[in-house]
Amino acid sequence: MNLRNIAIIAHVDHGKTTLVDALLAQSGVFRANEATVERAMDSNDQERERGITILAKCTSVLWNGKAGETRINIIDTPGHADFGGEVERILGMVDGCVILIDAEEGVMPQTKFVLGKALKLGLRPILCINKVDRPHADPDRVHNEAFDLFAIMGATDEQLDFPHIYASGKNGWATMDMNVPSDNLGPLFDLIVEHVPEPKVIENKDKPFQMLAVLIESDPFLGRVLTGRVNSGKAVPGLAIKALNRDGVEIERGRITKVLAFRGLKRQPVDEGTEAGDICAIAGLSKATVADTLCDMSLTDALPAQPIDPPTISMTVSVNDSPLAGKEGTKVQSRVIRERLLKEAESNVAIRVTETDEKDAFEVAGRGELQLGVLIENMRREGFEVAISRPRVVFKIDPETGEKMEPIEDVVIDVDEEFTGVVIEKLSARKAELKDMGPSGAGKTRITLKSPSRSLIGYQGEFLTDTRGSGVLNRVFSHYEGYKGIIDQNRKGVLISNGDGETAAFALWKLEERGTMFVGGNEKTYMGMIIGENSRLDDLDVNPMKTKQLTNIRASGTDEAIRLTPPRRPTLEQAIAYIEDDELVEVTPKSIRLRKKELNPSFRKKRVRTDA
């Protein structure tokens, strides 16, 4: 049987997971009477809720086409830049990739990022222009944009000679020629089998077993499960193996207890094992992790692991020390939080965890606010209570000049023409540089900028307000440049509770003229908790618990009816982006609260004076 290993890579929302759904359905993975779900590969709760792919996942289909029966291992990858670490790891497992580009949106920042990684590894991508049935689709323009991008990224002549195919993943068809209609994905399957080479490592099938671990997960029955492509030999249950780190130092020895092969959406145990070139998951080791080499006892050399781009954003995760701590969560101790963060850093190579000088606090560095937000949301659902600081960029020092360097991002914004002025004005004030601007179809303007990562922290909410929710902002890390200086980001002040207790509707009603509320009536509050946004630039301590004084004297006329405006409850990502350096987000399984680091207002004023 022929074997092909491919990855599907693209910018966020260009239709990777939907296309994989159609590939699975048309390859006969599902029985005729089997219930299927939309976006079957997005198995994680947060992936389903957010509508994005967060973790790279493997599936396998059988295709009986022109070249006979072929097993195609397909890896669905995340499209969001924050989860780029997943893409970097898995590209070493495959021999080819399908790069998806939306026929209307065209080339986007993450397209450039994932294509650069694929070309660097010497892969010859297949260009799939997806969503060609959209009303404003322009496949010819997108094809030209893709060719230009390949050339800019330094593709070789062989890579520039890429095949292209038109598809509609949602409707399940692909065609090599727009004038030749199709009702299935057969042309795409055949193109993959024809263009993607068979794994070169198949010739190593008679050598001792060797495999590079690329993905890691924990199974309640099997323990640690490591996924990768068998580089040589055969993975069979009972085989004695050892794990080597990147430097070839032995970590542990053990036996393979289970070999799991990907068959459709399921992982099935295979007693006969899997041969060189195939992708499988192995259980039996307890210490080995991502980028380690699992091999036969006779081998001493580790396989080279792909270098991962460094984190650019960091934040402090600490024990929740608010007056309401421990009332909603079950996991509140620093030891438990530390273990959970280190476990995450082990399985996600794009996240780095270090202990800080502060008591019970840990610095977590990642690719962006969304990646860190997803981690905290997962912890919150597991019963953790934590306090989170404002994200800050990870600076570097240039070893040659000693100059302070900061991360720079490529930003692409699609926005209605009427809002271009305010977007450019706001980002220029935040030290962003305009690179290009032009129409992108459907009455939209595309603005391309180069911006410091610092200036984009907390900008998303302001951007959506400025563009009436119609703008789309995409960003991806580009490189490090010299420090750009202080960026003026004037946020309005906040309304802070001056005592402990429960909020009263009467007090909030009176406070509404001061600003926007984050809390409703009859909610627990404490001194130093942020209950709303001030309409002015300074912070204001207020009493949200004041009730109406009742007397036995009859009021002349009728009392006014108290009608509160619904509070603006920030989501976790919005809260993380909103806070200032002297504030924290208190995250519990049931609540997201904003607070000042220093709860006592007299100490806060003292500290401001000493800072000044």
Binding positions for GTP: 13-18, 130-133
What is the residue type of 45?
D
Cα–Cα distance for residue pair 360/571, rounded to 1 Å: 25
What is the residue type of 377?
E
Which regions of 11-119 does DSSP assign to beta strands (E)? 57-65, 68-76, 96-102
* 229: Cβ contacts below 8 Å, ≥ 6 apart: 5, 93, 94, 199, 201, 211, 212, 214, 277, 278, 279
Report how far apart, in Å, the C-alpha atoms of 411 and of each of 47, 229, 477 are: 24, 35, 9
Report how far apart, in Å, the C-alpha atoms of 490 and of each of 334, 407, 487, 520, 579 are: 34, 22, 9, 26, 12
Look at residues 399, 416, 403, 396 and name the one whose alpha carbon lies nearest to residue 477. Answer: 396
Residue 110, classed as helix, strand or coil, is helix
Tokens found for residue 209: 């077993």
Tokens found for residue 487: 């960026």
Under 8 Å between Cβ of 244 and 302: yes
Backbone phi, psi, residue 276, to 5°: -55, 135
Cα–Cα distance for residue pair 304/311, rounded to 1 Å: 21
Residue 476, classed as helix, strand or coil, is strand
